[in-house]
């Protein structure tokens, strides 16, 4: 996973206060005048640009402290693949053990894992497909459907499909959702049904359990888990074209 210049810039700050101070410039002080008021505004997750975006200024939102800490943690892990959410944690559930084994290779982009699961939540079955690498990135605590991966690997929280994942279905409400991710485009074939196309090597993953071929460089493994009704992992070895 390649870090952008903006990502690397966030790692330069030793504290949240340093990050907030970096957002202050002459333009923002011109509108607000008082530095402390501006810092207080940034702490809420807003930017001074929100107040004059109608003048065609670009809007750049500040990170809250929770989002800053979560993002820096994620970036540190991404920068050093040996520092993982699952590091120093020994999961007890077989499914979580398998995810821990795949965390580093998914972060590096060598492997791309799609998780299929059926989970009972409050007597309602939630099912769907999760892009594991994309879900590892969704860690902002003030972001909807964020994941606390340390709590998940330690068994304190449960991972389950959400409307932010590749495919989501709530059996009680009938609500469904599908989303393309940075790793996969969702296709629908009249014969083969749902197909996930990897955006890096353009190979297709076929999740149909009744077939024996799941795609080039793709394998399927079903895992017995006490936490879920059913869990299946589709592991795709990525052949990047660059």
> Are 126 and 30 within one domain?
no
Residue 179 belongs to a domain: yes
Nearest Cα neighbor of 208 from 222, 189, 193, 196 is: 193
Residue 88 belongs to a domain: no
If one compares 157 and 74, the residue with the highest pLDDT of the two is: 157
Give yes or no for a contact between 129 and 155, defined as CB atoms under 8 angstroms apart. Answer: no
> Are 114 and 46 within one domain?
no
Q: Which domain holds residue 140?
A: 94-237
> Are 67 and 15 within one domain?
yes
Q: Which helix (H) or strand (E) element contains residue 111? A: strand 111-121
- Provide the token pair at 169: 């279905």
> Are 42 and 125 within one domain?
no
> Are 129 and 58 within one domain?
no
pLDDT digit string (tens) for 167-211? 999 999 999 999 999 999 999 998 889 999 999 999 999 999 888
Number of domains in the chain: 2
pLDDT digit string (tens) for 48-95? 444 444 444 444 467 788 778 777 776 766 666 556 889 889 999 999
pTM for the complete prediction?
0.69
Domain boundary among 56, 79, 102: 79
């Amino acid at each position: 996973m390649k870090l952008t210049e903006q990502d690397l810039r966030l790692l330069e700050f030793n504290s949240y206060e340093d990050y907030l101070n970096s957002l202050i410039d002459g333009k923002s002080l011109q509108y607000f005048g008082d530095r402390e008021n501006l810092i207080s505004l940034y702490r809420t997750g807003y930017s001074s640009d929100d107040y004059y975006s109608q003048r065609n200024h670009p809007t750049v939102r500040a990170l809250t402290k929770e989002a800053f800490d979560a993002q820096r943690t994620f970036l540190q892990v991404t920068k050093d693949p040996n520092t993982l959410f699952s590091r120093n944690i020994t999961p007890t559930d077989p499914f979580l053990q398998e995810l821990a084994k795949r965390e580093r290779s998914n972060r590096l982009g060598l492997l791309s894992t799609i998780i299929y699961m059926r989970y009972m939540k409050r007597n309602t079955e939630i099912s769907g497909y999760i892009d594991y690498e994309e879900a590892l990135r969704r860690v902002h605590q003030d972001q909807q459907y964020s994941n606390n991966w340390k709590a998940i690997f330690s068994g304190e929280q449960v991972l389950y499909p959400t409307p932010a994942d590749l495919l989501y279905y709530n059996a009680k409400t009938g609500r469904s959702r599908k989303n393309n991710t940075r790793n996969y485009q969702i296709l629908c074939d009249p014969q083969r049904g749902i197909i996930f196309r990897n955006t890096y090597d353009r190979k297709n993953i076929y999740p149909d359990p009744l077939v024996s071929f799941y795609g080039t460089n793709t394998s399927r493994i079903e895992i017995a888990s006490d936490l879920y009704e059913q869990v299946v992992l589709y592991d795709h070895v990525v052949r990047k074209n660059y």
